[in-house]
Amino acid sequence: MTLRLYDTSARQIRDFTPLVPGCVSIYLCGATVQAAPHIGHIRSGLNFDILRRWLTYRGYDVTFVRNVTDIDDKIIAKSAEQGRPWWAIGFENERAFDHAYTSLGCLPPTYEPRATGHVPEMIAMMDALIERGHAYAADGNVYFDVRSFPGYLELSNQDLDDLRQPSGEGETGKRDPRDFALWKSARPGEPAWDTPWGPGRPGWHLECSAMAHKYLGAAFDIHGGGLDLVFPHHENEIAQAKAYGDDFAAYWLHNAWVTMSGEKMSKSLGNSVLVSEMLNHWRPLVLRYYLGTPHYRSTIEYSEEALTEAEHALARVEGFLQRAAEQVGPVAPAAEPPAEFAAAMDDDLSVPQAMAVVHTTVRQGNAALDEGDKESVAALAGQVRAMLGVLGMDPMDERWAGATGGRAEQLHTAVDSLVHLVLDQRQAARERKDYGTADAIRDRLKDAGLVIEDTPTGPRWELGQRP
Ligand SMILES: Nc1ncnc2c1ncn2[C@@H]1O[C@H](COP(=O)(O)OP(=O)(O)OP(=O)(O)O)[C@@H](O)[C@H]1O
Ligand SMILES: [Zn+2]
């Protein structure tokens, strides 16, 4: 089956055919490092990490570029507010993003260019745009002439005549109020780079067109970002790149938002939950499951209940894999995930359907465990590991076992032997009809967050719902 993806510019699902057979090039708009990441930012990184992993599984050699916007009006404003250099704010938050991506198991990009390292490339692009009549300089700014590019607004399907775009602060000398800034002249005390048109700083849109061109060339396969970027950011990236002569992206993919009370989670709106806060309460794998399982084009309304559900769903999978290992010994991931899983992933990355296959397999695996059908247990556990492995969510993978310092298994064994010691005491209390002590032991285990289940083969324990 062919991979099919929803292309925002075609407004439909299309068969995916890469420009160069066997290779896929992706440019994802990364962080504006003005503050630490909230879970909306990481959802974007994570959705594209899953895309990249699926393409890699399908045998493509993937080049994945995710930039860092390290100069921007918001960073400059923060710098003035906090009395710290712009780069101190940028580096600090870049580290925070890096930590969040790594904690959630996002693979590092092939290239991670910073905007400020690409001013010469931006100057070359502006030079060419001015020469070809698509841009002009005014008062130390450089603007893109939107009327000069007939394809403008095709991605967002808008009519230029309906467009009302207010000029930003200091954006003087425009020929048309809808023209956008490629370059902004420096105000006193602000960071600036020299150009033929005077000292200034890059506009956000220009940064991405210049970096995509440098690392992926004039044409590449997939451009991604959050839905909020369709207009103006991606529309302006297209105008710059195509007017420059690039074919630019063949497919446009946009992830839906994480919302809070129906509104986009946003640093600027102040309704954000930081990844660092979430990681104090939830295991990284639970957070990856919670943000990575809904379809990338469905909104995720932030909810503690959904997080708890994610925790339980994952615990069911982990419980099965654990019991399977107890019954049949360590199980390696199967060479390939089941065809039904692959078909769901090929269908515009339908992770919810793919995850349904995982849970069905877990149910079949539990039934096989009850029946003592070791062969089926081993086969089904291998399939579960293969499917979750492709999604970067295999709990048995060293990546996640290492989340407690590489000692998760050792810790589990130690807790297991302590719990059995305590349960033996409870049993002894029952036998001598000391029900008070037996009940007190049960309550203490519950307070410790453990759920005990009596089974024909003896008591089993697992971590219960958090209080
Ligand atoms: N709430 C969200 N849900 C999903 N994706 C988001 C959300 N907020 C931002 N993104 C995406 O994260 C990536 C990095 O965003 P960027 O740092 O530019 O955020 P921003 O728009 O400045 O953030 P904010 O809106 O929080 O101020 C972009 O692809 C953006 O579309
Ligand atoms: Zn961008």
pLDDT at 464: 76
Kindly give the distance from the C-alpha atom of residue 226 to the centroid of ligand 2, in angstroms, as a whole number: 10
Q: How far apart are CA 100 and CA 46, in angstroms?
A: 10
Which numbered ligand comes closest to the C-alpha of 67?
A: 2
Predicted local distance difference test score (pLDDT) of residue 410: 58
The pLDDT score that the predictor gives to residue 413 is: 67
- Residue 157's contacts (CB-CB under 8 Å, 6 or more residues apart) are 11
275 lines ligand 1 (CB under 6 A): no
- Strand pairing class (300-301; 258-260): parallel
Residue 423 Cβ < 6 Å to ligand 1: no
Using an 8 Å Cβ cutoff, are 187 and 77 in contact?
no
**Domains of the chain by residue range:** 4-255, 275-401, 407-463
Task: Determine the residue of 66, 228, 254, 271 to mutate for testing ligand 1's pocket, defined as the one with the most ligand atoms within 8 A of the Cβ atom.
Answer: 228
- Return binding residues for Zn(2+): 29, 208, 233, 237
Residue 436 buriedness (CB in 10 A; 0-12 / 13-18 / 19+):
exposed
The residue whose two tokens read 């990844």 is 275
Q: Which residues pair with 292 in a beta bridge?
A: none
Closest to 265 measured CA to CA, from 44, 30, 80: 44
Strand order in the sheet with 258-260: 263-264, 258-260, 300-301
CA distances from 50 to 348, 393, 410 (A): 12, 10, 30
The residue whose C-alpha atom lies closest to atom 31 belonging to ligand 1 is 226
Q: How far apart are alpha carbons 257 and 336 in whole angstroms?
A: 31
- How far is Cα of residue 325 from the mean position of the Cα atoms in its chain? 31
How would you write the pLDDT of the chain (467 residues) with one tens digit per residue? Answer: 799 999 999 999 999 999 999 999 999 999 999 999 999 999 999 999 999 999 999 999 999 999 999 999 999 999 999 999 999 999 999 999 999 999 999 999 999 999 999 999 999 999 999 999 999 999 999 999 999 999 999 999 999 999 988 777 788 999 999 999 999 999 999 999 999 999 999 999 999 999 999 999 999 999 999 999 999 999 999 999 999 999 999 999 999 999 999 999 998 888 999 999 999 889 999 999 999 999 999 999 999 999 999 999 999 999 999 999 999 999 999 999 999 999 999 999 999 999 999 999 999 999 999 999 999 999 999 999 999 999 999 999 999 975 544 455 556 667 878 888 999 999 999 999 999 999 999 899 988 888 887 776 677 777 776 55
Superfamily of domain 4-255: HUPs (3.40.50.620)
Q: Could you tell me which residues are beta bridge partners of residue 223?
A: 27, 252
Alpha carbon distance 335, 321 (integer Å): 17
Q: Is 31 in the pocket of ligand 1 (CB under 6 A)?
A: yes
**Is-contact 329 377, C-beta < 8 A?**
no
CA of 207 to the centre of ligand 2 (A): 7
CA pair distance 278, 272, nearest whole angstrom = 11
* 373-378: long-range pairs with CB below 8 Å, 24+: 374/327, 374/328, 377/324, 377/327, 377/328, 378/324, 378/328, 378/331
The reported pLDDT for the residue numbered 425 is: 92
Binding-site residue numbers are 29, 208, 233, 237, 267
Q: Is the ipTM of this complex over 0.90?
A: yes
Backbone angles phi, psi at 372, to 5 degrees: 70, 25
Q: What would the 3-class secondary structure string for the chain be? A: CCCEEEECCCCEEEECCCCCCCEEEEEEEEEECCCCCEHHHHHHHHHHHHHHHHHHHCCCEEEEEEEEECCCHHHHHHHHHHCCCHHHHHHHHHHHHHHHHHHCCCCCCCECCEHHHHHHHHHHHHHHHHHCCCEEEECCEEEECHHHCCCCCCCCCCCHHHCCCCCCCCCCCCCCCCCEEEEEECCCCCCCECCCCCCEEECHHHHHHHHHHHHHCCEEEEEEEEHHHHHHHHHHHHHHHHHHCCCEEEEEEEECCEEECCEECCCCCCCCCEHHHHHHHCCHHHHHHHHHCCCCCCCEECCHHHHHHHHHHHHHHHHHHHHHHHHHCCCCCCCCCCHHHHHHHHECCCHHHHHHHHHHHHHHHHHHHHHCCHHHHHHHHHHHHHHHHHCCCCCCCHHHHHHHCCCHHHHHHHHHHHHHHHHHHHHHHHHCCCHHHHHHHHHHHHHCCEEEEEECCEEEEEECCCC
Query: Beta partners for 11?
Result: none
Neighbours of ion ligand 2 (CB under 5 A): 29, 208
Q: How far apart are CA 357 and CA 387, in angstroms?
A: 9
The CATH class of 275-401 is mainly alpha
pLDDT of residue 406: 42
pLDDT for position 170: 82
Same fold, 4-255 and 275-401: no
In the numeric block, which tokens belong to residue 270? 């102040």
* Confidence at residue 409, expressed as pLDDT on a 0 to 100 scale: 53
Residue 44 Cβ inside 6 Å of ligand 1? The answer reads yes
How far does residue 383's CA lie from ligand 2's centre (Å)? 37
Return the pLDDT at 412.
Answer: 66
Is 229 a pocket residue for ligand 1 (Cβ < 6 Å)?
A: yes
